Amino acid sequence: MDESIQGILIFTAIIVVSSLLWHSILKKFFAAVVGSVVTTVVAFQIVNYIHIGYLDPFFIIAIGVSAIIATFISVAIGTLYNAARKRRIKNGIKAYKIK
C-alpha cells in the first residue's frame, strides 16, 4: 500500500468519525456539517504534518480540496443520520440513555 492510498484511507476515516460525532451531538444539520468539515480539515493537516515532519507547501490548496470533499461526505452521512433519527422518533424509540 503506497502513501497515496494510506492518505485517502486516513482522510476517509477522519471524515466518517468526525461526521458521526458532530451529527450525533448537534441537531442542526448545517452546524454539524460545518463543524465536521472544520474538524476534518484541521485534523488531516495535523496528521499530515506529523507524518511528513513539516507543513506541506501547498497546504492552502489541500485545505480547499479536502474541505470540498469533506462537505459532500458529511452531507451524505448527515442525511442518513437525520433519516434514522426521524424514523426512530416516528416509531417512538427514545434516545439511548447512559445509566
1-42 pLDDT, tens digit each: 787 788 899 999 999 999 999 999 988 999 999 999 999 999
- Structure confidence at residue 88 (pLDDT): 79
- Higher model confidence: residue 48 or residue 92? 48
Q: Are 71 and 33 in contact (CB under 8 A)?
A: yes
Between CA 85 and CA 90, with CA 87 as vertex, the angle to 5 degrees is 110
- Structure confidence at residue 98 (pLDDT): 53
Where in the chain are the domains?
Answer: 3-90
- Structure confidence at residue 21 (pLDDT): 93
Instruction: Output the DSSP codes for the chain.
Output: --HHHHHHHHHHHHHHHHHHHHHHH-S-HHHHHHHHHHHHHHHHHHHHHHHHSS--TTHHHHHHHHHHHHHHHHHHHHHHHHHHHHHHHHTTPPPP---
For 47-56, write each residue's pLDDT tens digit. 989 988 888 8
pLDDT band at 65 (very low <50, low <70, confident <90, very high): very high
- Structure confidence at residue 55 (pLDDT): 85
Provide mean pLDDT across the span 92-96: 66
